[in-house]
Chains A and B, each alone.
Chain A
Amino acid sequence: MDPDRTATQPATGAAVTPVYDDAVVKMFFTATVVWALVGMLVGVIIALQLAWWPANLGLPWTTFGRLRPLHTNAVIFAFAGNVCFTGIYHSTQRLLKTRMFNDTLSRIHFWGWQGIIVAAAVTLPLGLTQAKEYAELIWPIDVAITVIWVVFAINFFGTLARRRVKHMYVAIWFYMSFVLTIAVLHIFNSLAIPATLVRSYPVYAGMTDALVQWWYGHNAVGFFLTTPFLGLMYYYLPRAAERPVYSYRLSIIHFWALVFLYIWAGPHHLLYSALPEWAQTLGMVFSIMLLAPSWGGMLNGLLTLKGAWNKLRSDPILKFMVVAVSFYGMSTFEGPMMSIRAVSGLAHYTNWVIGHVHSGALGWVGMISFGMLYWMVPRIFGREVRHPTWVSHHFWLATIGIVLYTVAMWAAGLMEGLQWRAINDAGQLANPIFLDITARLEPFLWLRLIGGTMYLVGAIMMAINFWQTIRGSGRPVEAAARAA
């Protein structure tokens, strides 16, 4: 029922809680909060650069072209990555009722990953890049990622091997697909011949390179920003709601359908391109089918709250989670629509895609993470959150911020998409000057900046709140509650 109900009633009689390695959870937790602020701050900076070009500062290291990959890498691999590791190290031990396989491996994973992030933060502004979205890091860092990922995989599967429950809970399935698939994606997309220590050329050329990259890119979304977070949803949402997961059958069906279908969808990034027609069609068809298992996950999450809806009114943690799952549903509806060739014809290249990205990233990834962190802090640090009302403020700042961000981007994207293609009665472009259209985007870019800033301010409030909680001004949690 409750995902790890029995963790509080150890079969052996001895207290089980102390055997868990929560120190590493706290380390990943701290890294998460720090990188969240860094990644989102860079997001706000590049949003400003697009609205007001002088913010590029005239320095090589601070131009949009160099900072944008810093933003994407920081939010995906540093923020979202550390969130996943925090949740996985915390929940896996409890779900399997055992300590992580090896404490040293846990530490190597932690420090190795943070080292990779620091290396990314240094190299990207220097312009050292492989220029593949979400796989920009230069080859020596790619090698390091492979090594650290193998360490993580050994640690994770080692823990599975010594679990003290017979059956693996659904969250574990999703974590497993994360560990395995990211390894496959990273290795095959990174194959390259080095020219120097900092430069290399991919073994694939042209459209093949593009296809491999978007096979990777779409599944970075699928297996870095979706499956581990669904795993987190399956653990933390039932715990926060104190309700069992709605449907076991649905978990089985949507898990297998999701992992099978996701991999095919990459070519929806290359519609109308020179990619062979058959591959474009496969990508489009599988993307549309992907709606079903995505909504399976959303429904399983939302319906878990059946009978607990009243809690939603008073509990900001559940609010974060419910808004997250709703945005997950929305962006996984929008994505398949954008995969239809004709819709892609309008949306591709425009700000609409940015709206879609951030409804998934801010709405789904960000909100489920905040919900999980607020739920976890009292339980791992033993103190109640210092400013409970700030949690609500954070929730509203973030929610309104997302709405401003995405609405601005949808409007901007639709407008530019239509104006780029508009043809007048004489059969000529209605807006022959590209920059005329760019100028009309400006108000929307400022609106996005306001929305993004609100989101960042919410995250800063969270960080201060946690800081004060942990530094000792939070009220100690009662022992019984803490045992979770």
Chain B
Amino acid sequence: MADEQNNGAHESETAYGRFHRRVLEGRAAVFAIATTVAISIGGIVEIVPMFSASLGPETIAEVTPYTPLEQAGRDIYVREGCYLCHSQMVRPMRAEILRYGEWSRAWEYQYDRPFQLGSRRLGPDLHRVGGKYPDAWHYEHMRDPRATSPGSVMPAYSWLLDWTTDPADVTASVRALSKLGHPYESTDEEWVRGQMQSQGETIVANLAQTGIETSWDREIIAVIAYLQRLGTDGRRVLEARETAQAEEADAADDTRTADASEVSGAGGSR
């Protein structure tokens, strides 16, 4: 046959080869459907369960959305492509926990759109950077990374010190996010601006203590707000859980010591 282009040099025909040729290679539509089925199964099996409460990533009520100012900072983080050098995912490994802090939990990301896990560490992980440095450190670092971190390869982002955030623009973001289910008290521009201003003024006041003069509407303020928020919900929740556990264990120990016949303590393995 003239069109047996597929045949190998010296191969004999096989049953599945004949089947494949007759049923699939001769019929483009059937081939296309079979291919679509083959490429859909894996995605369906892996992605659909993500939307179920038991199989998907855990969400908890203690985590709240980013404030408008933090969200504005996050959008700048996205714009500048920070995620191309910094991860936001501390892995559950000894060295990582020593270097960065508690490993990252799924529920910490529940309001992250888009996710910013990153896949490179040209710089250190940032998931637990919130509260690690004072606001002024971030200000100096973004202006000139080598001023705070000699030998850093990070570009300077001095324009963040001048460029301003626009509450109207941030309101558009807040509205889109609230459509996606992020609980915001209000989506009015006035509210958004008020929130941004009051949170921004606190940072401005912190910076003023080291002699830095700026105003709440600078992009750098939003970036600082975002960076200082990172990983703090997780830390707060995990610390609260630990305290609760410790209290529980204490309570259990108390009842046990009261019972004279009980010998071994329970909390040891925690």
For the complex formed, measure the closest distance between the CB of A225 and the CB atoms of chain B, giving whole angstroms.
16
**Of residues 238 to 263 in B, which have CB atoms within 8 Å of A's CB atoms?**
none
* Chain A residue nearest in CB terms to B168: A196
Partner of B81, one of A2, A68, A177: A68
Is A252 interfacial (CB-CB < 8 Å)?
yes
Write the A239-271 contact mask toward B (1 if CB under 8 angstroms, else 0): 000011111111110001001111111110110
Partner of A64, one of B9, B41, B84, B175: B84
Is B64 interfacial (CB-CB < 8 Å)?
no
Stretch at the interface among B117-125, B131-139, B206-214: B117-125
Give complex CA distance A247, B114 in Å.
45
Tell whether, in the assembled complex, residue B42 and residue A260 are in contact, meaning their CB atoms are under 8 Å apart: yes
Tell whether, in the assembled complex, residue B81 and residue A428 are in contact, meaning their CB atoms are under 8 Å apart: no
The A/B interface has a contact count, at CB < 8 Å, of: 298
Q: Which chain B positions have C-beta within 8 A of A260?
A: 38-39, 41-42
Tell whether, in the assembled complex, residue A157 and residue B32 are in contact, meaning their CB atoms are under 8 Å apart: yes
Most B C-beta atoms less than 10 A away, residue of A49, A53, A207, A438: A207
Tell whether, in the assembled complex, residue B46 and residue A133 are in contact, meaning their CB atoms are under 8 Å apart: no
Is B116 interfacial (CB-CB < 8 Å)?
yes
Partner of B21, one of A167, A180, A199: A167
Tell whether, in the assembled complex, residue B95 and residue A423 are in contact, meaning their CB atoms are under 8 Å apart: yes
Is B28 interfacial (CB-CB < 8 Å)?
yes
Is A201 interfacial (CB-CB < 8 Å)?
yes
Tell whether, in the assembled complex, residue A180 and residue B176 are in contact, meaning their CB atoms are under 8 Å apart: no
Give complex CA distance A173, B122 in Å.
40
For the complex formed, measure the closest distance between the CB of B66 and the CB atoms of chain A, giving whole angstroms.
12
Tell whether, in the assembled complex, residue A130 and residue B114 are in contact, meaning their CB atoms are under 8 Å apart: yes
**Of residues 86 to 129 in B, which have CB atoms within 8 Å of A's CB atoms?**
87, 89, 91-96, 98-99, 104-117, 119-124
Tell whether, in the assembled complex, residue A157 and residue B28 are in contact, meaning their CB atoms are under 8 Å apart: yes
Q: Which chain A positions have C-beta within 8 A of B161?
A: none
Is A276 interfacial (CB-CB < 8 Å)?
yes
Tell whether, in the assembled complex, residue B87 and residue A349 are in contact, meaning their CB atoms are under 8 Å apart: yes
Write the A182-205 contact mask toward B (1 if CB under 8 angstroms, else 0): 001000100001111001111111
Given the known interface contacts A132-B114, A211-B46, the answer about A203 and B180 at a Cβ–Cβ threshold of 8 Å is yes
Tell whether, in the assembled complex, residue B122 and residue A273 are in contact, meaning their CB atoms are under 8 Å apart: no
Tell whether, in the assembled complex, residue B114 and residue A1 are in contact, meaning their CB atoms are under 8 Å apart: no
Give complex CA distance A262, B42 in Å.
8
Is B191 interfacial (CB-CB < 8 Å)?
no
Partner of A129, one of B81, B85, B176: B81
For the complex formed, measure the closest distance between the CB of A417 and the CB atoms of chain B, giving whole angstroms.
10
Write the B41-85 contact mask toward A (1 if CB under 8 angstroms, else 0): 111011101110001110000000000000000010011111111
8 closest A-B pairs by CB: A65-B81, A206-B109, A263-B42, A264-B42, A195-B176, A56-B155, A127-B79, A274-B106
